[in-house]
Amino acid sequence: MAEHQVEITIHHSLAQIDAEVWDACACPEAADGGRPFDPFTTYRFLKALEDSRSVGTGTGWTPHYMTADSDGQTIGVAPLFLKSHSQGEYIFDHNWGHAYERAGGRYYPKLQIAVPFTPVTGRRFLTRPGFEQQGRAALVQGAVQLAENNGLSSLHVTFCNQEELDAGAAMGLMPRRTQQYHWVNRTYPDFEGFLDSLSSRKRKTIRKERRVAQEFGGEIKQLTGDAIERHHWDAIWQFYQDTGARKWGMPYLTRAFFDIAHRDLRDDILLVLAERDGRPVAGAMNLIGRDRLYGRYWGCSEHHPCLHFELCYYQAMDFSIAHGLKTVEAGAQGEHKLARGYLPTPTHSLHWINDPGLRAAIDRYLEAERAAVEEDIEILTSFGPFKKTEVEEHQ
């Protein structure tokens, strides 16, 4: 039976796409009212980025959302952006751009299929159930054709999943492997159950860090849903601004994003706040998926020893154990996570390069990089805090 022709359409605002249509592709598992696996590709999250002007004119992230339609039905969507820089991506291609421009080429603008400012693995070619292969192929071909027709240097698909990596590579995109640190809940009954899986020395270190953190002079709270109040976002915004200014030079999200998050995303969010005399002095913001907790932002107005580890890592573990979540993704980079039970985990991206010379050079680079990352993951895992038998099981 012949497949119906697929039509690709580019939309410059999510307002041009019905929310139910988008979510039918992005998170069909949530149609019954349950949590989506990936809160970041939901209509409400991406719309919050757009409505808050965190993406759009002047940000370097210009929306070009894709839809794939067949026989009167949308079978796939993708969060596609025209990029004028490489900021907020976390899979770095700055050196590719610099090399190409030194050779006389024009690297920017480029196309990016990604969730802006969000180094979280998930589906990037969002297809309606039953249309995975057809929808994914149409979205890949549509994005490549858009880049070719407009003389753009490249297309990048960042933090895609393994299935998409394999399918994209089969369609001619170049695969790339990088790594992050994730904590896996091995059905621990409680935090002590996790500690029992560690070597004695690491177990003692973590207990000491948690004890020291609790001595900051106040109370640590976990807040989600209606327990989050508007005034909490004032503190989160201040923390985010401070951390963003130190890490990236300027924050990616606007203040309006947090106001919209309070209205539309509270049920997807876990705030962990350290409060003294009713005033937050440090905090971490997480998003909650169906089986994962995603650590996103941290900041503080006062420095207290070990409080960062407690709010960002150990409290996330506590929440995940209590709610039966399988994994904590604690964000990009940070080898200090290794000693706290977060093990190196591969992350993936796909790349299409227009210029044959640049494409060949990057292909050689990626081949060597993949081998180096695989070796790093193996070595770093062996240096983790787990008992020897636990390390062997992780490997």
User: What is the rounded distance in angstroms from the CA atom of residue 77 to the CA atom of residue 389?
Assistant: 43
pLDDT at 248: 60
User: What is the rounded distance in angstroms from the CA atom of residue 195 to the CA atom of residue 383?
Assistant: 16
Q: For tokens 């990089």, what's the residue?
A: 369
Burial of 102 (0-12, 13-18, 19+ CB in 10 A): exposed
Output the six-digit token pair for 343: 């093990």
Question: How open is the CA angle 89-111-152, to the nearest 5 degrees?
Answer: 135
pLDDT at 334: 78
Helix and strand numbers (H, E) in the chain are: 13, 15
Task: Write out the H or E segment, with its range, that includes residue 243.
Answer: helix 230-247
Closest CA to 88 of 16, 156, 140, 176: 156
Closest CA to 74 of 123, 19, 140, 36: 19
Helical ranges in 303-355 per DSSP H: 307-309, 315-323
Instruction: Tell me the average pLDDT of the chain.
Output: 94
Q: By three-state DSSP, how is residue 140 classified? A: helix
SS3 content of the chain, % helix, strand, coil (to 5): 45, 25, 30
pLDDT tens over the chain, length 395 residues: 345 799 999 999 999 999 999 999 999 999 989 999 999 999 999 999 999 999 999 999 999 999 999 999 999 999 999 999 999 999 999 999 999 999 999 999 999 999 999 999 999 999 999 999 999 999 999 999 999 999 999 999 999 999 999 999 999 999 999 999 999 999 999 999 999 999 999 999 999 999 999 999 999 999 999 999 999 999 999 999 887 666 666 789 999 999 999 999 999 999 999 999 999 999 999 999 999 999 999 999 999 999 999 999 999 999 999 999 999 998 777 788 999 999 999 999 999 999 999 999 999 999 999 999 999 999 999 989 998 665 455 44
User: What is the rounded distance in angstroms from the CA atom of residue 328 to the CA atom of residue 334?
Assistant: 14
pLDDT at 249: 62
Q: Is 330 left (phi over 0), alpha (psi -120 to 50) or beta?
A: alpha
User: What is the rounded distance in angstroms from the CA atom of residue 161 to the CA atom of residue 358?
Assistant: 25
DSSP single-letter state for residue 53: T
pLDDT at 4: 76
Write out pLDDT tens, residues 368-377.
Answer: 999 999 999 9
375: number of Cβ within 10 Å? 10
pLDDT at 390: 54
Write out pLDDT tens, residues 250-260.
Answer: 789 999 999 99
Q: How many CA atoms lie within 13 A of 316 on its CB side?
A: 36
Note whether 209 and 310 are within 8 A (CB): yes
- Angstrom CA distances, 260 to 33, 48, 51, 374, stand at 20, 6, 8, 40
User: What is the rounded distance in angstroms from the CA atom of residue 2 to the CA atom of residue 113?
Assistant: 29
User: What is the rounded distance in angstroms from the CA atom of residue 239 to the CA atom of residue 298?
Assistant: 7
Bond from prior residue into 344 cis (ω within 30 degrees of 0): no
pLDDT at 324: 97
- Look up the pTM and report it: 0.94
Closest CA to 369 of 212, 189, 175, 99: 175
User: What is the rounded distance in angstroms from the CA atom of residue 314 to the CA atom of residue 152?
Assistant: 44
pLDDT at 1: 37
